[in-house]
Structure 1
Amino acid sequence: MKQFNKEFLRDTWDIIKPYWQSEEKKIAWLLLIIIIFLNLFLVFINVLINLWYNEFYNALQELNAQAFWVAIIQFCILAFFYIVAAVYSLYLNQMLQIKWRKWLTDKFLKKWLDKKIYYHLQVFNNSTDNPDQRISEDLNLFVSQTLNLSLGLLNSVVTLASFVGILWAISGPLSFGIFGYEVVVPGYMVWAAIFYAIFGTWITAVIGKPLIDLNFKQQMYEANFRFSMVRIRENSESVALYGGEKREHKHLMTNFFDVFENYWKIMVRQKMLGWFTSGYNQIAIIFPILVASPRFFAREIQLGALMQIAQAFGQVQSSLSYIVNSYPSLANWHAVADRLRTFEHNISFIEELQQKNNRILIKESENLRVENLSILLPDNKTPLINQLNLSLNRSERLLIVGSSGIGKSTLIRTLAGLWPFGEGKIFLPPKDKLLFLPQKPYLPIGSLRDVLIYPNGDPDVSDDKIKDLLISLNLKHLINHISEVNMWSQILSLGEQQYLAFGRIFLQKPEWVFMDEATSALDEKSERMLYDKLKNELSNSAVISVGHRSSLLSYHEKKLIILGAGKWSLERISYINSEKSFIS
């Protein structure tokens, strides 16, 4: 699974390719071409510096001061152009990275949020751990590492092509006798560099192979640990009321133990790899001088040629040793790419699940109408509701009742297009005329204004109107905090949050309101106040409520009773406030 196989390469290419064919392809290719040119220019400067080595060290050997200072001036010129090229190569590389990352982030966010994928991934596919990390952190690493590793490989290939000829020419032939025959090896330093790099690459691959899987797991463990702390922050009041600090500490340390243990394995493996690569690279410094020194001491080459050979050998050996020097980065890149491609696979799985299982046809209509709707559990066999038929016009109000866990909320999810298991037809008004209120409201991070206009309210609504609304909702204590940005879900009680959710109704005035136990945290007096306000201010809006209290009967005209095992009953509410007509 974790190898560089055809499936991995194909999937990774499918992540890389779209950007380079997108609407931003012109600027992307232009930046890439300039970056490649600058990298090639840097290689060219290195070639000139290699030639400079010969002149500089020969000037030192010959005690030629004039040639020495000429060489110094030449080096300053070369260094100036090298610095300029290196700086702009990095700058444009980062520019391309952030543009590519922005495009990929937009693409992945659309995939994740489209067709309720984010919801179904959580409900039906637990193998997708921490999608937030995959989009924020993994995309960043993938883009930067893909560019840097690709450019590094290109740089190695060009450097090899540039220096192998130089090394071949200046190293000369190696002669030795074997079994009475004289063997001549032309360009022997090139062959020495090749064999040295092949040996190093093989050993590195053997030692470093486990790093791919270890890096993959480390990303997952780190994300799990971080998510556990976020969960505590999101539910801080509940944890504090339960006094669950010791339990949470134990759970966090259990998660961190995975981080610690896996990181320790990475440390050990990188230490083994470090022993080899450090020794490999250090030996590479002296190895060419040792091999070329016999010709120097035989006065066949001067000091300048010896240093030129050493520098050229280093360039060739480094180019051939690209995998040796880049293996930790390659292993980390492989892990990141694996997480992104599995993320895409899981999204595709959910899309297939939606197409395969969702035989519920949802069409647009003026009123709500349900025809032969059957809702099943995820096994696609066990019925929650079987062959439901109902219709509701604007200004009509329906109460959905039944035992806990019998399928009331699932019916609301189905009407919202969230539940894919079942069949039948649902006719719904346009989405901009609908508003769904879950039992626990979602309060986005922002001001109270942002909370109240979420998701489709008017952002230019006046402060006075919001203040009047808050006062009418028994939230007078919040009127001085309208523009205060905060995590309101952590500050307000569940009852206050449900008040704000109703505030959305009164501010946005949808024509169709679906409420799933939206007043469960409120007392009956507050519930009556909200439903009375709803009846007075949105008298022409349809209301579909899920609830357990008999007091809700007086605010609805129809009652849908979910009986279990697929059975249901739809009836008109003929007598008000009678607990006999209510099933809880």
Structure 2
Amino acid sequence: MATQVVQDQPLTNTSSAFTQFWEDVKAIAGPYWYPTKPGGRAFSDVIRAWGMLILLILSIIALVSVTAFNSFVNRNLVDIIVQEKNYSKFIEIVSVYAVGLLLVTLLVGFSKFIRKQIALDWYKWLNNQILDKYLSNRAYYRINFQTDIDNPDQRLSQEIEPVTSNALSFSATFLEKILEMTVFLIIVWSISQQIAIILFFYTIIGNFIAVYFNQELNKINQQELASKAEYSYSLTHVRNHAESIAFFQGEEQEANIIGRRFSNLLKNMERKISWERGKEIFSRGYQAIIEIFPYAILGPLYLRDEIDYGQLGQAAFASYFFATAVGELITEFGTSGNFSSYVERLSELTDALQAVTKQRENVTTIKTIEENHLAFENVTLQTPNYEQVIVENLSLDVQLGEGLLIVGPSGRGKSSLLRAIAGLWNAGTGRLVRPPLEEVLFLPQRPYIILGTLREQLLYPNTSRQMTDTELKEVLQQVNLQNLLSRVDGFDTEVPWENILSIGEQQRLAFARLLVTHPSFTILDEATSALDLKNEGSLYQQLQSTKTTFISVGHRESLFDYHQWVLELSQDSSWQLVTVQDYRNQKTITQNSTENTRITIDSSHNNEHQNQLEILTQKAISEGLSHKEMTELTYYSIKTIRSKASKGESITNRDGLTYRYDKDSKVLKWVRI
């Protein structure tokens, strides 16, 4: 999508770059000036924008016309002073000239005002449109997986306004200066065709040279924008991670990182200064030569009395305005390099936002059904890029009011399952049944602390909820944050909460939101990892008292006391669902087995194993067996057993006995036929 043009590029690349640039401009400007999609801008707003644009064009035409008229008034004034020496005519012409200059002054101010008003209105609309795309369909989250889009926050905050202001500035200046050059070239032609022809061809040659300078400046401007964004982000990064840096005493390393990025920024700025110096020298010299043309050519004619002084003055006046118009046009073309850079980066952002929210073709996704319970039906979950399977053929149903604890090795996808519930990840197959997300409250390991008051922190995400200070104080008491009010000036005080609250306090504040919201379903991703066991126990007991259905991710054994079921994820994408008691028994058996192996290995092992098989056989009749226990009776791997369970297939063990998997949500065990 590059719009830079370098000197040695072939013409086809230059044409392609310009075409792409123009397509980007149309994509940004089109919906504002020519809305075609239903639900776009209101018709009255479009008419108002076009009305202001027409008013701007008319004011520019009027400005150029009055300026041209003033050149003739100036010519007559000079003739009256030098040749006629008529005082009454002098007063009359001076009065007309003064009115003309006043009109020019008013028209300049009015046209700039209208131009800035249009730019402001366009900026407001464009910012809201792109911000809506950014916040819709969780694009702000998904775009983080697009590694080629750097610093989207800076593009939103700092690079939208220059697009509209530069576009209006360039368009208005281009129209005004082209009209001025045309009008004053005609005036010069009426006085001296020779000067007019020289000015015309001189302008063409000068603009070719100006294009060369501007092409390189466009490239430098693009690099400067990127380096500014990187430098700004490095400073923001230090602020966001100030405590960690302080603990590590990493100031020197951070200074080196910031220094490298600042050095890159300086190099780009130095290159830009060097090229702008050359362009400025060329621009000033270019104007100076134009200004001297009329004197060099018409001066001898005046000295030979072949033209009058007024004509000489008007030719000099017209050439001066022509030169000024050319110079300002060249300058505007130079600054248009910034405009093209902003357009490119903004277009990249809007394209990326559209891409991340667009459903990929030829891929499978997990089907989501909204009902008043939570269940996985043969769900195979993959990473968003479809490169890794997280869990395979997962089937379970979380009963209302119960708690499910998800355990497993780090990196095995425990949090990924929560992302699937939230709809953040949907790559894979199967069906996910869940309640509407408005009825679910998510508590991550690092709580989200908003920019707002203490009242808004507690009420988030429904900050419009009405609760009295007494009720909020009671909630703080329940989560052991009763002393928090003594550190701030009440519930309506806004302070940097992430700086004054520890992680443990932030986790308790997040739990307070749960007690305020009373959600039907709660998802906790190690939401008590920074708390001591006493605080953790108190919070989970209150969670149970709310009768909410909750799913937790965690490693602490203390969490078993507050859940009824355990979902264990394994390294090979397999899983098992057991009761907390069965899981604890498995852990005990595994630990005892490991300990016995360390002590001795003797012949009694076979007898114990045989006894265990007999116990499992009897258990299959009375209680049923888990997937793990079935592996003890068969030659199948646990992955195969789970697959047969999901397909409803029976299994014959080593002794020829047949088992089937009971999918009843209250059983979920292998039973003997």
TM interval, short-chain normalised:
over 0.9
Partner of 1:7: 20
Q: Is structure 2 residue 160 aligned with structure 1 residue 119? A: no
Q: Cα distance 1:356–1:136, how it changes in 2: closer, same or farther (>3 A)? A: farther
Give the deviation of 1:434 after TM superposition. 1.0
Give the deviation of 1:464 after TM superposition. 1.7
Partner of 1:487: 496
List aligned pairs for 1:25-44, cutoff 5 A: 25-44=46-65
Partner of 1:416: 422
TM-score when normalising by structure 2 = 0.80
The one of 208, 211, 221 aligned to 2:217: 211
Partner of 1:162: 183
Give the deviation of 1:67 after TM superposition. 3.5
Partner of 2:626: none
Listed one character per residue, the Cα deviations across residues 511-543 of structure 1 (whole Å, up to 9, x for unaligned) are: 11111111111111111111011112x11x110
2:75 maps to amino acid: N
Q: Is structure 2 residue 144 aligned with structure 1 residue 138? A: no
Secondary structure of 1:5's aligned partner: helix
Partner of 1:517: 526
Alpha-carbon separation, structure 2, partners of 1:423 and 1:12: 40
List aligned pairs for 1:179-328, cutoff 5 A: 187-319=193-325, 323-328=329-334
Alpha-carbon separation, structure 2, partners of 1:364 and 1:582: 40
Partner of 2:366: 360
Alpha-carbon separation, structure 1, partners of 2:358 and 2:367: 16
Alpha-carbon separation, structure 2, partners of 1:125 and 1:227: 17
The one of 105, 128, 140 aligned to 2:149: 128
Alpha-carbon separation, structure 2, partners of 1:364 and 1:278: 69
Give the deviation of 1:150 after TM superposition. 0.9
Alpha-carbon separation, structure 1, partners of 2:360 and 2:459: 30
Q: Is structure 2 residue 76 aligned with structure 1 residue 70? A: no
Listed one character per residue, the Cα deviations across residues 322-368 of structure 1 (whole Å, up to 9, x for unaligned) are: 65232221111111111111112222332346566561222311211
Secondary structure of 1:209's aligned partner: helix
2:90 maps to amino acid: F
Single out whichever of 387-396 and 506-515 deviates more from structure 2: 387-396
Alpha-carbon separation, structure 2, partners of 1:493 and 1:169: 81
Listed one character per residue, the Cα deviations across residues 165-209 of structure 1 (whole Å, up to 9, x for unaligned) are: 3222122xxxxxxxxxxxxxxx22221111111111111122231
Contact 1:197 1:317 survives alignment (8 Å): no
Give the deviation of 1:49 after TM superposition. 1.2
Secondary structure of 2:462's aligned partner: coil
Q: Is structure 2 residue 575 aligned with structure 1 residue 557? A: no
Alpha-carbon separation, structure 2, partners of 1:314 and 1:582: 97
Contact 1:375 1:423 survives alignment (8 Å): yes
Listed one character per residue, the Cα deviations across residues 215-234 of structure 1 (whole Å, up to 9, x for unaligned) are: 11111111111111111111
Alpha-carbon separation, structure 2, partners of 1:157 and 1:375: 61
Secondary structure of 1:548's aligned partner: coil
Partner of 2:340: 334
Secondary structure of 1:126's aligned partner: coil
Give the deviation of 1:86 after TM superposition. 2.1
The one of 393, 399, 414 aligned to 2:399: 393
Contact 2:287 2:323 survives alignment (8 Å): no
Listed one character per residue, the Cα deviations across residues 83-129 of structure 1 (whole Å, up to 9, x for unaligned) are: 2222222222222222111111111111112111111111x211111
Alpha-carbon separation, structure 1, partners of 2:426 and 2:362: 9
Contact 1:193 1:317 survives alignment (8 Å): no
Alpha-carbon separation, structure 2, partners of 1:418 and 1:47: 63
Secondary structure of 1:418's aligned partner: coil
Give the deviation of 1:260 after TM superposition. 0.6
Secondary structure of 1:31's aligned partner: helix
TM-score when normalising by structure 1 = 0.92
Q: Which runs of 5+ in 1 are unaligned?
A: 172-186
Q: How many residues are paired up?
A: 566
Q: Cα distance 1:424–1:576, how it changes in 2: closer, same or farther (>3 A)? A: closer
Alpha-carbon separation, structure 1, partners of 2:372 and 2:338: 54
Alpha-carbon separation, structure 1, partners of 2:363 and 2:263: 40
Q: Cα distance 1:93–1:136, how it changes in 2: closer, same or farther (>3 A)? A: same
Contact 1:211 1:331 survives alignment (8 Å): yes
Secondary structure of 1:359's aligned partner: coil
List aligned pairs for 1:460-479, cutoff 5 A: 460-479=466-485
Alpha-carbon separation, structure 1, partners of 2:362 and 2:219: 33
Secondary structure of 2:261's aligned partner: helix
Secondary structure of 1:329's aligned partner: helix
Say what the alpha-carbon RMSD is for the aligned residues.
2.2
The one of 76, 83, 94 aligned to 2:116: 94
Q: Is structure 2 residue 460 aligned with structure 1 residue 454? A: yes
Partner of 2:605: none
Structure label with greater radius of gyration: 2
Q: Cα distance 1:357–1:150, how it changes in 2: closer, same or farther (>3 A)? A: farther
Alpha-carbon separation, structure 2, partners of 1:51 and 1:161: 16
Give the deviation of 1:60 after TM superposition. 3.0
Q: Which runs of 5+ in 2 are unaligned?
A: 5-16, 36-40, 592-673
Alpha-carbon separation, structure 2, partners of 1:517 and 1:579: 23
Percent identity (aligned) = 30
Alpha-carbon separation, structure 2, partners of 1:554 and 1:107: 49
The one of 104, 114, 122 aligned to 1:82: 104
Single out whichever of 496-505 and 564-573 deviates more from structure 2: 564-573
Alpha-carbon separation, structure 1, partners of 2:270 and 2:188: 42
Contact 1:190 1:313 survives alignment (8 Å): no
Q: Is structure 2 residue 131 aligned with structure 1 residue 109? A: yes
Give the deviation of 1:576 after TM superposition. 9.1
Give the deviation of 1:387 after TM superposition. 1.4
Contact 1:551 1:577 survives alignment (8 Å): no
Give the deviation of 1:285 after TM superposition. 2.0
Q: Cα distance 1:501–1:313, how it changes in 2: closer, same or farther (>3 A)? A: same
Give the deviation of 1:426 after TM superposition. 1.4
